[in-house]
Amino acid sequence: MKQIVVISGKGGTGKTVLTASFASLAENKVMVDCDVDAADLHLLLKPEIRERYEFRSGVTAKINREVCKECGECLSVCRFEAISRDFVVDPISCEGCAVCSRVCPEGAIFMEENVSGEWYISDTKYGPLVHAKLGIAEENSGKLVTQVRQAARVIAEKYNMDYVIIDGPPGIGCPVIAALTGVDLALIVTEPTLSGMHDMGRVAQVSKHFGIPTKVIINKYDLNLKNSETIKEICKQADIEVVALLPFSRQVSESIVQGIPLVEFSKNGIAEDIAVLWERIK
């Protein structure tokens, strides 16, 4: 079983479009959407939810105003600016450390468990998809990523799948690290912009830090040929293979509007390049 994650550092470089195309091209695989706070893969793969699970994570402080004497002990210990001067907890800022509830001399603060999202095992015409929806304004997206990856792994092992294909989140923080851990290949999708190059550099350092074999795809390479050359040079020096140069194409947004993977929307141009790319990395 080979686990492949598509990441980018910078958002909007084409992770989901590529992952959906791999879903169509690869045989015998399970798909995972690890961009749990803005998941879009389901818009192309059209899943039917088969199993649904609650994601519980962490706790949030709540002040019982009947009991509270407004002594201010909680205010003085909270390091997350989560308690207002009129003694109301802002659930968004609260990180659930429970220190306030421990210091409250009146026992007026209790900790409530968060239901911070849901995750699903679904059927698609491309095979199983494990995906999730993080509750609005919730934290712990890294834990939810770990949860969906774990579920995908179990499915892959049970059915003897050849691939786990993972749509990763943008950035370099907690959810990205959770999406990268233990994969066999990280594909970084970048674009020939200063931002794309800068962010590729940072996320490549993260994958190197965790010892993950990494390859780069330059998307919309023809928007700035000079920058594309620079990316190739940077990758060469970092000993990272550039596995594909994909052109800018209006077919991409058209396929998103149609709600189908790019390689099914079209068979030529960029779609053909992606098919060739899959043969190279599979």
Partner 1 sequence: MIISVASGKGGTGKTTVAVNLALSIKNVQFLDCDVEEPNAHLFLKPKMHSIKIATIPIPQVDESLCNYCGKCREICAYNAIAVFSDEDNKKGSVLIFPHLCHGCGGCKLFCPQNAISEVDKEIGVIEAGISRDIQFVHGKLNIGEIMSPPLIRQVKQYIYRSRNVIIDAPPGTSCPVIGSVKGSDFCILVTEPTPFGLHDLVLAVEVIEKMKIPFGVVINRSDIGDGGVDNFCRSKNIPILMRIPFDKDIAFLYSNGIPFVTEKKEYLQKFADMFEAIQALIGWRGGRMQ
Sign of CA dihedral 143, 148, 153, 155: positive
C-alpha distances out from residue 231 to 65, 197, 202, 223, Å: 58, 7, 13, 13
- Look at the chain and count its residues: 282
Cβ atoms of residues 215 and 242 within 8 Å: yes
Which two structure tokens, joined as six digits, stand for 60? Answer: 């949030």
What are φ and ψ of residue 145, in 5° steps? Answer: -60, -45
Which 216-255 positions form the footprint of partner 1 (CB under 8 A)? 223-224, 227, 250, 253
Nearest distance in Å: CB 188, partner 1: 12
199 binds partner 1 (CB under 8 A): yes
**C-alpha of 131 from chain center:** 10
Which residue in 146, 181, 195, 266 binds partner 1 (CB under 8 A)? 195
Could you tell me how many residues of this chain bind partner 1 (CB under 8 A)?
63
Q: Which amino acid is at 202?
A: R
By CB under 8 A, tell whether 67 contacts partner 1: no
Among 68, 87, 95, 106, binds partner 1 (CB under 8 A): 95
Residue 160 CB partners (closer than 8 Å, separation 6+): none
φ/ψ of residue 249, rounded to 5: -150, 135
For partner 1, the binding residue among 171, 242, 263, 274 (CB under 8 A) is 171
Residue 110 CB, nearest distance to partner 1 (Å)? Answer: 14
Q: Could you count the other beta carbons within 10 Å of the beta carbon of residue 76?
A: 10
- Exactly one of 1, 112, 118, 193 binds partner 1 (CB under 8 A); that residue is 193
Residue 167 makes contact with partner 1 by CB under 8 A: no
- Contact between 212 and partner 1 (CB under 8 A)? no
Residue 75 or 98 with smaller CB distance to partner 1: 98
Encoded amino acid at 131, one letter:
H
Q: What's the CA gap between 205 and 192, in Å, rounded?
A: 18
Name the minimum Å distance from CB 169 to partner 1.
Answer: 7
Asked if 77 interacts with partner 1 (CB under 8 A), we say yes
Quick check: 134 binds partner 1 (CB under 8 A)?
yes
Instruction: Identify the bridge partners of residue 130 per DSSP, sorted by sequence position.
Output: 32, 121
Stretch that binds partner 1, among 99-107, 121-129, 155-163, 268-276 (CB under 8 A): 99-107
Residue 261 binds to partner 1 (criterion: CB under 8 A):
no
Structure tokens at 220: 């919309």
110 binds partner 1 (CB under 8 A): no
Contact call for residue 75 and partner 1 (CB under 8 A): no
- Our finding on whether 211 is near partner 1 (CB under 8 A) is no
CA distance 269 to 175: 33
Largest pairwise CA distance in the chain: 71
User: Which residues lie near partner 1 (CB under 8 A)?
Assistant: 8-13, 16, 37-38, 40, 43, 58-59, 77, 79-81, 92-93, 95-99, 102-103, 134, 136-139, 141-142, 169-174, 176-177, 191-196, 198-199, 202-203, 205-206, 209-210, 223-224, 227, 250, 253, 256-257, 259
